[in-house]
Amino acid sequence: MAARVTERIDSTRLQTKRDPALTFDQIWIVEDDAQTSARQGIAGVLRQRRTVVVQLHEVVKGESQVIASCSYQAGELRTRVPQTGRTGLALQMLDIARARSGLVVAGTSYGTNRDFIPGVLARHMDIAVEVPRDTRWITARGVTSRSRERADQLLRNAKWSSVRVVNPETGRPTEFQVAELGTVVVHQDSLRAFGFAPGSVIDPRGDLRIALTSVLAGPIEEIIQCIGWARWIRALNRRRARPNGHASNSAAPTTSLPRTRIVGLNSRPNIRLARQQDLRFVPIDDSADRKRAVVRERTRSLRVMELFAGAGGLGLGFVLAGGIERYYELLYSAEVEPIYVQTLRRNHEFRQQQLSYRQVPDVLAPLDLRRRWSEEFLSDLGKAAGGIDVLIGGPPCQGFSNANRNSWSAMNPNNRLVDVFLRYVRKLQPRLALIENVQGIMWTGQADSAPSVADHVARSLRRSGYLAFPKLLDAVWFGVPQHRTRFFLLAVHQDAGYKLDDFGPWGPFPRPTHGPGTDRDYVTVGDAIGDLPRIGNGFAGEAVPYAEPSAELISRNPFLAAMRNGAEKEAITDHVTSRHAPYVIDRYRRIRQGGNWQAISDMMTNYTSLDRTHSNIYRRLRKNEPAITIGHYRKSMLVHPTQHRGLSLREAARLQSFPDWFRFAGTADGGPGGLMYKQQQLANAVCPLLAKAIADFLLAL
């Protein structure tokens, strides 16, 4: 063995949920963690050398144990032992274990190695290994000419049949489509090639795999079941690596915030717990509030500047607020990403054309708020307008998001952009400042054992002469058809004359208008998208004909009235969907309303670790309830409540409460700047109706 590479024998055992009862008395599984997320760097963070662990597992009658384990520093084997590498370690572990019979199973990284297959066969053992579909080998029919052929070219004349294979992780049978692909020659050894795909649909672009085995006869489903062990063992190791068998950051802490916290809010980590909290709502008495209208005393309009604007959902809410007598003037929407700036321009222009008294910026350009010249530019703009009344913004929240737990780190550069926002508060000195973010800001610290970022923001604002009021608000409370809880912190400058006790226990935020404790029901998915035309998987039309809702329906559905206000008549734009592979649609068909990936777990063999799969993956929405939080709905594979397809962009926009006239920059055909860019803009956006509720409330301060 090379220097610094260690060996150990381990007897850790695990009994599967069902004895596979295979023909093979022993299965030897070679796997490593070179590709796990623990080894992947975070954008903007210096990559460090990591330890890679290679393990050999023995499976006998459904019981697994780790027989040998070797570790090395990533990159070390390329420089110290170029003749052996990972394959050499794997073969040496077989020797350590005195493995002389049975079936050796490994994944694609070993299937492509020129030394691994011959090394196993030289030890008089059988092998079954997956290979990438672009692998080239010498086919048996072409030995004389030594013609090489890509593995996936063997699929051209494949004849498929259906078999049932027991999943070693769940113990349940899974349907597979299989095809014998003939005999190939690899380094003078004849091997049996076959293709297999989970589910009932064969999609060359989907989860279709190719494998090789030295077992030239016998049921192919037994070989597939053995290969399945390699994927399952990888998931087992990830569970073992986490404290108590759970993800170290798998849930937001609700009681372990720093003792020095000043933002002491009860988190709403999921819909079930949020509903339990909401059932305890009682009508909120706001008689204790002492609003004196000192913020808007000078003029009909309040001047607003938006930072980290994204697609402009927060700013749109302020533009929609108020009326002719009292409204907001949006001085500038600052954003650095060009595609977002295009979205902002298009929709600001629409507002100017439709309602001239709604003031929005005439010109926008990408603006990097970290640069000092950007700070001076916005400061001069504010002075020319007579000062800024309200500064709003949502610094990028990937570093705090529940959907991106690997980036809960002080080193993540996105987690430092809140300081940029605070710098602008000190520079521009607005009367009010509103910062929006995800709940994770309450428990993500800037350093180990440090107060949360939310506490850091509140303290900084207080030192700058502001009262700081934190609040968690769920968009569903304000007529948005989705549960989406976000953190808001309102800063009120002390010159406005307010005190902390000038507001009741709810604070200076709007009271819920929908749900428990109110006289309105939540807006449901059916209320939001039930009127939209029926379309198919992958539909990409620029606009589709639309039957305008009747006056009776509009009167019964205020949300729909708000969505259609100002939109093009008898047409719906952006009603486009991603084109999913046939095997994905096959999965959709098996999921009922409210169900998720668990209904199709036997089909999800392309997921390495089902135990880490988010509960909202493959979620089919319920028609008669609000939606779950709408993030990147394509990546989450959210399913339409009644149609077997993913959500359209317009449906997702409705669920975010963006009106039908609102357009996201990009094309609908998936080309450069296409649908994926629109989907990402929507995923990051603030719900305009929630922003509007806050803006309407602030007009009275």
pLDDT attached to residue 261: 52
Distance CA 322, CA 701 (A): 13
Distance CA 623, CA 231 (A): 36
Distance CA 408, CA 413 (A): 11
Dig out the tokens for 160 from the structure: 């498929």
Q: Of all residues in the chain, what percent are helix, strand and coil, respectively (each to 5)?
A: 30, 20, 50
pLDDT attached to residue 77: 53
Distance CA 622, CA 74 (A): 46
Distance CA 191, CA 140 (A): 9
pLDDT digits (tens, 9 = 90+) for 320-343: 998 888 899 999 999 999 989 999
pLDDT attached to residue 670: 44
Distance CA 179, CA 194 (A): 6
pLDDT attached to residue 582: 86
Query: pTM for this one?
Result: 0.70
Query: Which residue's structure tokens are 């079930």?
Result: 272
pLDDT attached to residue 8: 37
Contact of 195 with 209, CB cutoff 8 Å: yes
pLDDT attached to residue 259: 36
Distance CA 369, CA 29 (A): 52
Give the residue ranges of the chain where pLDDT is below 50.
1-21, 37-47, 79-83, 140-145, 242-260, 399-413, 446-448, 669-670, 672
Dig out the tokens for 480 from the structure: 């948005």
pLDDT attached to residue 110: 85
* Beta carbons within 10 angstroms of residue 254's beta carbon: 14
pLDDT attached to residue 90: 85
How buried is 490 (Cβ within 10 angstroms: 0-12 exposed, 13-18 middle, 19+ buried)?
buried
pLDDT attached to residue 19: 38
List of domains in the chain: 6-245 (3.90.350.10), 304-519+688-698 (3.40.50.150)
CA dist 23 to 13, 191, 439, Å?
21, 19, 52
pLDDT attached to residue 198: 82
pLDDT attached to residue 410: 43
Dig out the tokens for 666 from the structure: 């990009």
pLDDT attached to residue 412: 46
pLDDT attached to residue 253: 37
Kind and range of the H or E run holding 274:
helix 271-278
